[in-house]
Amino acid sequence: MAVQGLYALQNGFLGAERSLLFYGEYSEAAVQIPIACWLIRTASGVVLFDTGVSPRAVPGLTRNNPLARFTEDDLLVHRLDALGLETGNVDVVVLSHLHYDHAGGAELFPTSELVVQRDEYAYAHHPAPFFAPFYYRKNFDLPNHRWRLLDGDTELAPGLTVLRTDGHTPGHQSLLVELPESGPVLLTGDACYTLEHVEGERVPGVVWNPSLAYHSLKRLKTLARLTGARIFPGHDPVFWQSAKQSPDPYR
């Protein structure tokens, strides 16, 4: 087994109205949701899944979002530092999608391979007006970075498989991580915001195509059932409280 450990890296919190979290809900009640990045140590290198928000965006988010909370420790470079790593030690960065709370740190990795679905990369550069506020062009307009554009499911390394889970966005992807001791984990990204989404088959409120998002949710559920994988959702405050936080690893 090539995967050695999985680390949950907290990148801060944002407030989100229930109408943004659950498709079809109109409640303005806000919930504080975690911004999560995940680091995977493998026999052949270090892989990061998502990069959180850009440090540049934090003052604006804090100003406009009363539930936003970002500490110094939450900065991705500090989370990496706590693991004895610098950005240059990260070999591969898998981006679930290019929304600002996932691709914000991509520019920190000029020597890493940045892995994203080709459809996501194309759409992010020319989003429809209704979806444009979620894509900050500065985050991914990085022509000198090493982009690897995928077309669908891809095995990145033994025990590490990218799964196409579009719907939230046109080219969303999740990551199946096969841990040596505790078995497989599905890092869903925003294909599944919370465990409530998977249990109730609830589509995210922020969504490009709700039918595809629904298919992806069911696909993740099926894969979890067939492989025995645990689902680690993208923005679940309850899950996050009980998640093992870096520097302690899941093994």
Note the residues at the interface with Zn ion (CB under 5 A). 101, 190
Q: Which helix (H) or strand (E) holds 32?
A: strand 30-42
Q: Strand pairing of 146-150 and 3-17?
A: unpaired
Minimum gap (Å) between residue 8 Cβ and Zn ion:
15
Minimum gap (Å) between residue 100 Cβ and Zn ion:
8
Minimum gap (Å) between residue 28 Cβ and Zn ion:
19
Residue 172: exposure state from Cβ atoms within 10 A (0-12, 13-18, ≥19): buried
Q: Please tell me the distance from the alpha carbon of residue 204 to that of residue 38, in angstroms, as a whole number.
A: 21
Minimum gap (Å) between residue 80 Cβ and Zn ion:
20
Nearer to Zn ion, 74 or 190 (CB): 190
Length of the chain: 251
Nearer to Zn ion, 41 or 166 (CB): 166
Q: Residue 169 has which token pair?
A: 């966005």
Minimum gap (Å) between residue 186 Cβ and Zn ion:
16
Nearer to Zn ion, 3 or 16 (CB): 16
Q: In sequence order, which residues have a C-beta less than 8 Å from that of residue 136 and are 6 or more positions away?
A: 54, 57, 100, 103, 104
Nearer to Zn ion, 101 or 120 (CB): 101
Of 52, 115, 112, residue with least CA distance to 78 = 52
Any idea which residue has 């599905």 for tokens? 186
Nearer to Zn ion, 16 or 92 (CB): 16
